[in-house]
Amino acid sequence: MHDNSVAVVGLGYVGLPLAILAQNKGYRVTGLEYDKRKVDMIRAGVSPFVEESVTTWLADNQLDVTQDYERLREVASIIVCVPTPVDETYTPDLGPVISACTEIARRLRPGQLVVIESTINPGVCDEVVLPLLEKQSGLKCGVDFFLAHCPERINPGDPKWNVGNIARVVGGHDQKSLDLAYEFYSRIVDAPIRRMGSLKEAEAVKVVENSFRDVNIAFVNELAMSFTKLGIDVVNVINGAATKPFAFMPHYPGAGVGGHCIPVDPYYLIEYARKNGFEHDFLSSARSINNQMPEFTVDQVESALEHHGRSMKGAKVAVMGLSYKANVGDLRESPSLRILEHLSERGADIVVHDPYIHGYGEYKRSFSGVPEEFAFFENTEGRSQLELTSAMKGADAVIIATAHREYVQLSPEDFKDAGVNIIVDGRNCLNKSALTSAGFTYRGIGR
């Protein structure tokens, strides 16, 4: 059996829960994180992001975290959980994977297992990671050290599915690499682990899963844009179709697709296939449809304002929700940021609110074109309801950009008290009939 020491490289949404799980399952864990701020927070028992299970665990337990790559020499297995983003032109950026693997390669010692958990396109392990590890270390994969891929499927904020109970797939460079990785994940995950035929197959599983979601969402987003013109409520239609007991899986339209995975991972496959002579027209089209949704949402605001004889220029628009997903504070690829850009370009007077985003500076850098001085209501213990009300107060239009529980609970009286007439429900999460019968101008996405 492999030694029970493991290092997790990159302590974000993926790496930190994994490190905690491994420690809970009896592993001697070293967390390696290059961001000093995160290292200090974790050492102080504070989670660097909002995730209840992590916050609770860190309050009562200690994780050995370091910025020192030399510590990698001490462990049997190294799990890489660094980001795999795209740049402004949607080109995959393997920089963090390459830099983490370069550091690992410099310290690689015989017998060690390296597992890439980061989402990567097929071919990255064989064509990028493997040559890098072998060249820098002078060791031979499958003989001196071992390499596997086990894509992460965690869904932050999900009350049911977590790193410990989601089934996994693993691929190995060779039989021993596969066996070692299989053994590690079988010992920590209480769910089936499926052995894949190769590293490439395991890599492909992840991009296929997320592309599947992206194209299904693009399909209903396209329907939403079409049905807006046809005067059909797309949500009612989807719910009708979902009564078919087989061969239909409901997906719902919205103001855009965000996060580090769904709007990013398809580009990794698109780009790799293109380099190998295949054009993924279908995936590219899905990406382009989903990227249009923030602008479509702003179009709904503009048309509702025009309906009331107002123009967007100078109209006060309250954007409720900055994060890409309900009840979490994650801004990565958030459609709300694109909504802000479009509103700003059209001259709206913008107010934003998000009880899950702690601080302003971090996201200010993530987008351009929005006046820096626009009001921001930072979450402060006990003040969030007041802040929410003041954010909406006197707005000519309110956009629900994220279905945070605080917004889903809003009643017609809340909007009335704030003096709001126009509600653009970018997540179709409000009670349309209650709002329309109370006299509000309600626009959903495709309803």
Ligand X SMILES: NC(=O)c1ccc[n+]([C@@H]2O[C@H](COP(=O)([O-])OP(=O)(O)OC[C@H]3O[C@@H](n4cnc5c(N)ncnc54)[C@H](O)[C@@H]3O)[C@@H](O)[C@H]2O)c1
Q: Are 169 and 209 in contact (CB under 8 A)?
A: no
Q: Out of 96, 123, 172, 426, name the contact with ligand X by CB under 6 A.
A: 96
188 binds ligand X (CB under 6 A): no
Give Cα 354 to chain centroid, integer Å: 17
Angle at 219 between CA 215 and CA 223, to 5 degrees: 165
DSSP annotation of 373: T
Phi and psi for 184 in degrees, rounded to 5?
-60, -50
Q: Out of 51, 152, 214, 354, name the contact with ligand X by CB under 6 A.
A: 152
Max CA separation in the chain (angstroms): 74
Tell me if residue 261 is catalytic.
yes
168 binds ligand X (CB under 6 A): no
Produce one character per residue of 97-111: b if its CB has 16 or more CB atoms within 10 Å, e if not.
beebbebbbebbeee
Nearest to 80 by CA among 31, 45, 47, 37: 31
CA distance from start to end of the chain: 58
Neighbours of 204 (CB within 10 A): 22
10 binds ligand X (CB under 6 A): yes
Point out the catalytic residue in the list 101, 150, 261, 429: 261
Nearest to 424 by CA among 134, 161, 228, 213: 228
SS3 280: coil
149 binds ligand X (CB under 6 A): no
114 binds ligand X (CB under 6 A): no
Neighbours of 112 (CB within 10 A): 25
154 binds ligand X (CB under 6 A): yes
- Per-residue string for binding with ligand X, 245-264, x by CB under 6 A? ---------------xx---
94 binds ligand X (CB under 6 A): no
Q: Out of 22, 32, 301, 350, name the contact with ligand X by CB under 6 A.
A: 32
41 binds ligand X (CB under 6 A): no
Q: Out of 82, 130, 220, 301, name the contact with ligand X by CB under 6 A.
A: 82
Q: Out of 33, 349, 396, 406, name the contact with ligand X by CB under 6 A.
A: 33
Angle at 221 between CA 216 and CA 223, to 5 degrees: 100
Site stretch for ligand X (CB under 6 A), options 77-85, 133-141, 167-175, 286-294:
77-85
Query: Among all chains, which residue has been given the structure tokens 């491994």?
Result: 22
Q: Please tell me the count of residues contacting ligand X according to CB under 6 A.
A: 27
Site stretch for ligand X (CB under 6 A), options 76-84, 126-134, 179-187, 333-341:
76-84
> At its nearest, how many Å lie between ligand X and the CB of residue 154?
5
Q: Out of 99, 175, 285, 385, name the contact with ligand X by CB under 6 A.
A: 99
83 binds ligand X (CB under 6 A): yes
Q: Out of 30, 118, 334, 402, name the contact with ligand X by CB under 6 A.
A: 118
**DSSP labels, 318-346:** EEE--SSSTT----TT-HHHHHHHHHHHT
Query: Catalytic residues, which ones?
Result: 261
Would you tell me which residues interact with ligand X (CB under 6 A)? 9-15, 32-35, 38, 81-84, 96, 99-100, 118-119, 152-154, 156, 260-261
